[in-house]
Structure 1
Amino acid sequence: MGNELVGTDVEEDEVLEEVAQVLSHDLSNLLTTARSSLELARRQHDDDEHIERTVAVLDNSEQLVEDVVTLARTGRQFDDVSPTDIESVAESAWLSVDELGVSLRVDESLREEHLRIEADPGGLRLLLENLFQNAVEHGPAEEVVRVGLVERNGTRGFYVADDGEGFEMTDPEQAFESGYSTDDDRSGLGLAIVRRIVDAHGWTITVEESREGGARFEIGGVDFAE
């Protein structure tokens, strides 16, 4: 039975990789061609409302392709698990989503102890990037995103919290479903990618309202390096 499950997982991963290749190559090439033609039309018809609307749709389409490819290529498990400094990875991940007026605050609990966890550095960075991006997209213009240590029932983990609009739903787990989004212009895959990374590490993730009224994601089941 175990071998059958492993075989099924491998086959599914191979299919996902094929899908990722088609999306990242063929569809991306088509979108690039469409953008080139659109830019030519833009130069000839400046300030055309229909062209600008099409540009926005194209931007969203390219982001959707990127998100689907990322989701497809995020493995069931990571091979490069090693002691990883949360603070340094968080600060590195922040560079990809840093926006004017929004700031990252790493709690002293992480700064002072220089805590390291057993994680795949690339996977941890991608997880944090998506949580940060989620916070920025749903937060106010001047927002603080926090990363810190959490201790519950004798075990430790880490959290990412913001002071955005939070989640208005009876089942918070719905936020991690592929395609779920409160914004029609977003793919709704960011938190699904987060869930896949969490599962691949054998961690847990929960979401609740933060003290500031935004969202607070807690990642548990984490092994801290000595």
Structure 2
Amino acid sequence: MKSVSNRFVGGVVASAGLLLSLFHLSHLTAFRPNGVFPEGSTLVLSIVLSLVMTAVGAMIALDRLVSSRSAGRILAWTGIGVVALSLLGAWIVVSIAGGELSLLNPLGPMLTVATFGALVGLLVGLYDVRGLEHQQSVEQSNRINDTLRIATQELVNKTERSALERAVCEKLTESEAYEAVWIGRYDEADPTVRAAAWSGFTDDYFESIVITVDDSPTGNGAGGRAIKSREIQCVPNVFDDPTMEPWWDLLEMHGVRSLAVIPITHDDTVYGFFSIYADRQSVFGDREQEVLVELGETIGHAIASIEARERLADQERELARQNEQLDAFAGVVSHDLRNPLNVAMGNLDLAREQGDDVYFSRSADALDRMDDLVTDLLTLARQGETVDEFDQVSLREVVEAAWSTAGSSAATLRIDGELGTVSCDRGRLRQLLENLLRNSVEHGSTNGRPKVDDGVEHAGSDVTVTVRRTNAGFAVDDDGPGIPTERRRAVFEAGHTTNQDGTGFGLNIVRSIAEAHGWEVSVGESPDGGARFEFVGVELIDAVTDAP
């Protein structure tokens, strides 16, 4: 009876009242007192009751008295009233007539009693429905208050989007009327809405449901419409809505009868939606829908604020990194560059006084040292920039190119297996490898100036540097003395060096370039006991897709 409309119930009641009015009016015109039939006043009362019944039915049909969700209860109470009082009337008629019942026509008295019973049942039904609707109104008000509490208290304290989404789902499902709630994230680049948080049903349900934002059947349901129209979508009965057919089996399995999908928006951005399930029909009233729309906008504003804070935090971290670089530059300029400058100037003065070529050589060495420092400082200053454009290049070719400038005749380059193709900025990756290979050569080799090596192992080589592919990227190993555990964290810091001729910026440059690509670098021990620099987060493929 829950699905019976007001128009149908009101029509039935009004029609019955009108027929009873006509019947009683016809009996009133043919009234002849006989002591058993109802008196004229009783017939008049019956007509009045029938007309009242007709009027009440008309008001129900016009939605003036009750909501359509409860009309079936009124019809049921009316039927109960008719049956109960008709049985009572029949007993009374039989008692009055006694053995002379066969001489009577009981139709008139029974219809009079039925009229009274119908009106009594109708009034009882109206009272019952009004009480039920008041209870539902209180429940709805409580849900609205809970929703407003979420908007004003729960959302402002969340600093992460995932935590915010979980809080919304968990708090909304505390309402007795809401069986389950889930939030789907939307990205314009992806037509599929991804479930991000949920509560009420098992994980399997939300992981299996498919909602899209396109013209397919999974894109024309309430979820797809909510994102495309940016308006709340309420479905009073999911099984009366043909656009919900792709999910009927899932909804039937979990007892869902109605739902509301509310878009999460802020300004011109649609972040997704949250969907609320109920186990009965027509749960979401107009006022409740208004509050849910406000909640969707509040969630959207909160997400926008979280993203703004994250961008600000990224900017602050970048500013802190730049400040660290500035501090390092200031230290180098004030100390490291000043020392070789003083040496060069002092030796030039001695050369002028004594004319000895050795002083010119020392000045030249000091100036070379300054040139190395300036070069590394300029390189380091450029490496903090994020890589925006990537090329597909052969990692082996870049390694060999880097070795041609950073290798040594006293060292050997060994490439272990196929390295594959890497997506990167070719020039900056070469800088990374040059600094890394030079570090292995300088700390593991005793020979002098580096030169191009042919990649073939040489007898008597001081150090062998091996480049190999790993599950998450690639690694550069050497068989030198290695790096003590307590010093591994410090090797990437600007200015840190154990080599008297080193600038201390080589490995810092390595880390900066790796982070600019979105990679992570760590230092450990190689299989041969030397240093191992491992890069993770590097996407390598087996074949070159574009010629470098």
Query: What TM-score do the two structures reach when normalised by structure 1?
Result: 0.76
Residue equivalent to 1:191: 507
Tell me which amino acid in the other structure corresponds to 2:464.
Answer: V
Query: Alpha-carbon deviations, 1:86-132, whole Å to 9, x = none?
Result: 0000001111112222121111232xxxx111111111111100100
Q: Which whole-Å CA distance do the structure 2 matches of 1:211 and 1:86 have between them?
A: 22
Residues 47 and 54 of structure 1: is their aligned pair in 2 closer, same or farther, counting only changes over 3 Å? closer
Partner of residue 158, structure 1: 474
Query: In the TM superposition, what is the alpha-carbon distance from 1:53 to its structure 2 partner?
Result: 4.2
SS in 1 for 2:408: coil
Write the letter of the residue equivalent to 1:45. D
State the structure with more CA Rg.
2
**Structure 1 position 186, deviation (Å):** 1.1
Report whether the alignment pairs 1:83 with 2:392.
yes
Q: Which residue of 1 aligns with 2:488?
A: 172
Q: Please state which structure has a larger fraction of its residues in helix.
A: 2
Aligned pair count reads 205
Quote the Cα distance in structure 2 between the aligned partners of 1:109 and 1:164. 24
1:127 to 432, 448, 461: 432
Q: Which residue of 2 aligns with 1:219?
A: 535
Q: In structure 1, how many angstroms separate the alpha carbons of the residues matched to 2:540 and 2:429?
A: 14
Does the C-alpha gap of structure 1 residues 216 and 82 become closer, same or farther in structure 2, counting only changes over 3 Å?
Answer: same
Partners in 2 of 1:3 and 1:212 — Cα distance? 43
1:149 equivalent in alignment to 2:465: no
Q: Separation in 2 of the partners of 1:63 and 1:171? A: 24
TM-superposed deviation, 1:138: 0.4
Cα offsets for 1:63-106 (capped at 9, x unmatched): 11111110001133112312121000000111111222212111
| Alignment RMSD | 3.3
Aligned pairs for 1:7-46 (under 5 A) are 9=318, 38=348, 41=351, 44-46=355-357
Tell me, what secondary structure is at the counterpart of 2:484? coil
**Gap change, CA 1:170 and 1:52, over 3 Å in 2:** same
**SS across alignment from 1:166:** coil
Is 1:204–1:220's contact at 8 Å kept on the other side of the alignment?
yes
Q: How big is the shift at 1:146? A: 0.9
Among 182, 203, 209, the alignment partner of 2:525 is 209
The answer (yes or no) to whether the contact 1:181–1:187 under 8 Å persists in 2 is yes
CA distance in 1, matches of 2:523, 2:516: 18
- Aligned residues of 1:76 and 1:199 also touching (Cα < 8 A): no
In structure 1, C-alpha distance between the alignment counterparts of 2:398 and 2:426, rounded to whole Å: 7
Q: Give CA-to-partner distance per residue, 1:128-153, whole Å, 9 cap, x none.
A: 001001011101342211111112xx
Question: Separation in 2 of the partners of 1:133 and 1:172?
Answer: 17
Does the 8 A contact of 1:207 with 1:216 survive in 2? yes
The correspondence for 1:47, drawn from 349, 358, 363, is 358
Quote the Cα distance in structure 1 between the aligned partners of 2:508 and 2:321: 17
User: Residue in 2 aligned with 1:136?
Assistant: 441
d(CA) in 1 for partners of 2:424, 2:373: 27
Larger RCO, structures 1/2 (Cα 8 Å, 6+ apart): 1
Q: In the aligned structure 2, how far is the partner of 1:194 from the partner of 1:128?
A: 8
Q: What is residue 381 of structure 2 aligned with on the other side?
A: 72
The yes-or-no answer on 1:116 pairing with 2:416 is no
Per-residue CA distance 1:165-191 (angstroms, 9 max, x = gap): 211241412110101111132111000
CA 1:7–1:220: 2 relative to 1, 3 Å = closer
Change (3 A) 1:124 1:54: same
Q: Counterparts of 1:145 and 1:2 in 2: how far apart (Å)?
A: 40
Partner in structure 2 of residue 105 of structure 1: 414
